[in-house]
Structures are given as structure tokens and as C-alpha cells.
Structure 1
Amino acid sequence: MNFSDLLSPDCTRCAVEGTSKKKLLEIISQIAAPKLCNITRIDVFESLLSRERLGSTGIGLGIAIPHGRLPGASQPVAVLLTMAKPIDFDAIDNQPVDIVFALLVPENEQEQYLQTLAEVARKMNDKSCTRALREADSDKALYDIFVGKGQAASCS
């Protein structure tokens, strides 16, 4: 999978200030909504919150992969964040989260949705990748590391 088709530099943020899971989902919604035609930040937030009510998307080891399906969306959008300070996310290992990859997809793309989530989880399972993401010192460095561009250590 080519993550640069899904994640854009303007949807990547390093050292985000956030105090709660809800605030973090609001930040993701504000970043993602402008990339989705006719989808509001409230639509994005409700989709993410609805999924979180089913169970936390905190997968452990300081990582969360919040995701949602959006009726009316025409293309998938991803948001990648690192947190300035880890936050409680009700993760499966009860550890706070400091790396967040959010995925929003059109409601009718179930198969691609599941494949993409699996690829993100595989990438986030690579300790050298997560170490490099945590060490990123700018939005651009974070993006370059995740999509494997430039001189930065990359996640392959």
C-alpha cells in the first residue's frame, strides 16, 4: 500500500496538545473535514465517536487507530498525529497513547477499509517505525517517516 495516496502532509501533526480522547477526536475531525467534500467536522467527529463507543481503538503500546465510515464521502482520508504528552485512550493495555493514526473512509468501501486498517496496524507493530515517529520533531518529518520519503528513518 502506498500511504502517500491516503495521508497528506497537511493531515500530519507532530506534538499535538490534547488532554482527552474526546478532545483528540475533535482535533482529528477539524483536520480531516476540509479534505472531505460535503462532510462536516461534526459528521467526522460523530463517526469516530460512534466507533469508539463499540470499544476503544487504542491497540496498545501507546498507539491508537481511530476509524470510521462516512456516508457521502468520496475518498478515504487519514490523519497522523503524535501527542506532546500521552493521553488516556482506554487502550487494551491501559497505557496512554502518543501515536494516533485516524482513518475515515466512504461507507461503501468495507473491503478496502479492512485492508487499510490491517496495513496500518502492521506498520505500527514495527518498533523501529514507532520509535522514529516518536522522535520526529516536525509535521514534515513525521509525514516523511510514515510514508518513507526523504532522509528520515522510515516505516517500511
Structure 2
Amino acid sequence: MKLDQLLSPDCTLCAVQGKSKKNILEQISAIAANKISSATAKELLNSLTKREKLSSTGIGNGIAIPHGKINNSESPVAVLLTTDKPVIFDAIDDKPVDIFFALFVPEDHCQQHLETLASVARFFSDKDNSKKVRRCNSSTELHQLVVSN
């Protein structure tokens, strides 16, 4: 799934305050809960936390792609946050993270889940995209940048 079909303006936030990994996952879950009527913020947080226990979704270079599965939903939901200061996230390179692209994908859509993760990873594998994301000064600017690629 293309990022412009996945990410909505109300799920894109620039320069949020993040105190910890748990705090960031809580913020992501609360935002996503406004889009996913079949799940509460607590259920979404549990889904992300369960996945993080397997291994960190911090992919390196200050980027994390937390993701989880949701029940009783037909379409995926994405949340993009940048933080005002990097947060310790147990990333594979041990560097703190300031870009979080979270995904919630329906439980029975495994192939879509993999394709969506690949799209996000491709976008952020371009170091210029990461630099541009970090230079964004507003949530609107951040959303436009990501969906225009």
C-alpha cells in the first residue's frame, strides 16, 4: 500500500515531546485509537508492546517502525511522529530515535502488512527523505512531504 493511501493528516504530528519509548508508544496508540473504532488505545498499545518484546522496531539512523495487528478492522492505519528530541528506543544501532512511523494492520492481512512495512522502509532507506522529515516545521509540512513521495 502506498504511503499516500495510508497516512492521514490527523495521524501525522511533528516535534512532539517524547519522554520514553513507552510514552511514544502510548501517544501513537492514542492517536490511532481515534481512527480504529474496533480497538481501544490500550489494546493498540498492547499490540505494539507485544511486537517490541520480540525485538525492537528501531531500524537504525534515528528511525523506528513500530507495528502491530488489529482485530475486526479491514484497513491499515499509520501514525507518523517526529519528536523534539531523540528518545532511547533500543534501536539496532543503539542510537536514539526521533522519527516514528507506526503501522496497525488487520490481523488477517499478512501480505498487506509486509508490503506496507516494505513501503515505509523503502521511503526511509533514502537518507534524503530522513533529512527532509527532520527539517519539517509543522505536521502539515510533514504529511505533505511523506504523501508526495
Give the TM-score of the pair, scaled to structure 1: 0.93
Cα offsets for 1:3-57 (capped at 9, x unmatched): 1211000000000101110000000001000101221001100000000000000
Unaligned runs of 5+ in 2: none
8 Å CA contact 1:37, 1:74 repeated in 2: no
Residue identity opposite 2:40 in structure 1: T
Quote the offset at 1:85 in angstroms.
Answer: 0.1
8 Å CA contact 2:75, 2:106 repeated in 1: yes
Q: Which has the higher contact order (CA 8 A, sep 6+)?
A: 2
Equivalent residue number for residue 47 of structure 2: 47
CA distance in 1 between counterparts of 2:66 and 2:73 reads 17
Unaligned runs of 5+ in 1: 149-155
Cα offsets for 1:51-102 (capped at 9, x unmatched): 0000000000000000001112221000001110000000000000010000
Q: Point out 4+ residue stretches in structure 1 off by more than 4 angstroms.
A: none
Give the TM-score of the pair, scaled to structure 2: 0.98
SS of 1:134's partner is helix
Equivalent residue number for residue 29 of structure 1: 29
Q: Superposition pairs for residues 1-156 of structure 1, below 5 Å? A: 1-148=1-148, 156=149
What RMSD over aligned residues (CA atoms) do the two structures have, in Å?
A: 0.8
